[in-house]
Amino acid sequence: MAFGLTEPDAGSNSHNLKTTARRTGAGWTITGSKYYISAVDQASAILIVARDADHSTPEKNALSLFVVPTDSPGLTYRPIDTSIVSPDKQFLVYLDQVQVGEEALIGVAGNGLRQVFDGLNPERILVGALCGGIGRYAIDKACAYAKQRCVWSTPIGAHQGIAHPLAEAHIAVELSRMATARSAEMFDAGQPAGEAANIAKFAASEAALKALDQAIQTHGGNGLSNEYGLSELWFVTRLMRTAPVSREMTLNFIAQTSLGLPRSY
């Protein structure tokens, strides 16, 4: 199942969703659009987050979640061209009076935002794990190359200009893996894991990108060749600073909920 939250005017701000679900006699009619929805072409359904017309007021959107089959009449989609090398493509999704039955509603009508947020912590922990893997992979590749590549009299890994940034990248990646393991433990134990999951996602995505950059640098020109298996990871790793939650929104969350600082928006 694909996950359809983001809209052209509602990315960081999920309260701004325009896609609207209205009750009909037999279920619901959903109209709106979503963008950057991953893997729609491989999914049999999309979990659509919609503004619930019955529960919303002019001041406040109430959201509901619906399982919408991708072959529903009125649902169309087209790919968005990106530089990311990954098995998933991203899609713009249009919902034009799509009809779903009562059984399509997930959880409690009007309580969708809370339900979505319950699912976002494990997604952040998953990104922490993914980035820990990318970071380790990049550093392994860089070290293997730095041990055998000789430009002067020693392998390049003997130059501190190459060794120290790799050592720093290793420290950052391993710290982020500890943070990820800790957040997973808390989540598994049913403890509140919001702060820990956000810390893990932030630390791991920053550490992975830095490690990958240093691995590419260690490879000189070869770092940019597809043959060495690093450059193709650039955009998918870069993505983790923006999605599923941007680094800025993560910092906002930590500033507000961990540090009690006031918000600007």
C-alpha distances out from residue 16 to 7, 10, 113, 168, 208, Å: 9, 5, 12, 40, 31
Length of the chain: 265
208, 237 Cβ separation under 8 angstroms: yes
Minimum Å gap between C-beta 40 and ligand FAD is 8
Of residues 67 and 249, the one with the C-beta less far from ligand FAD: 249
Minimum Å gap between C-beta 2 and ligand FAD is 6
Minimum Å gap between C-beta 146 and ligand FAD is 31
Of residues 51 and 219, the one with the C-beta less far from ligand FAD: 51
The answer for residues whose C-beta is within 8 angstroms of residue 227's C-beta and 6 or more apart is none
The answer for residues whose C-beta is within 8 angstroms of residue 167's C-beta and 6 or more apart is none
Of residues 104 and 156, the one with the C-beta less far from ligand FAD: 104
DSSP state at residue 203: H
Instruction: State both tokens at 156.
Output: 């390049």
Of residues 34 and 210, the one with the C-beta less far from ligand FAD: 34
Minimum Å gap between C-beta 255 and ligand FAD is 10
Residue of closest CB approach to ligand FAD: 11
Of residues 51 and 141, the one with the C-beta less far from ligand FAD: 51
Of residues 127 and 139, the one with the C-beta less far from ligand FAD: 127
Identify the three-state secondary structure at position 103. Answer: helix
34, 8 Cβ separation under 8 angstroms: no
Minimum Å gap between C-beta 90 and ligand FAD is 5
Q: How many helices (H) and strands (E) does the chain have?
A: 5, 8
Instruction: State both tokens at 219.
Output: 């490879």
Minimum Å gap between C-beta 205 and ligand FAD is 13
Residues at the interface with ligand FAD (CB under 6 A): 2-6, 11-12, 36-38, 82, 84, 90, 239, 242-246, 248-249, 252, 265
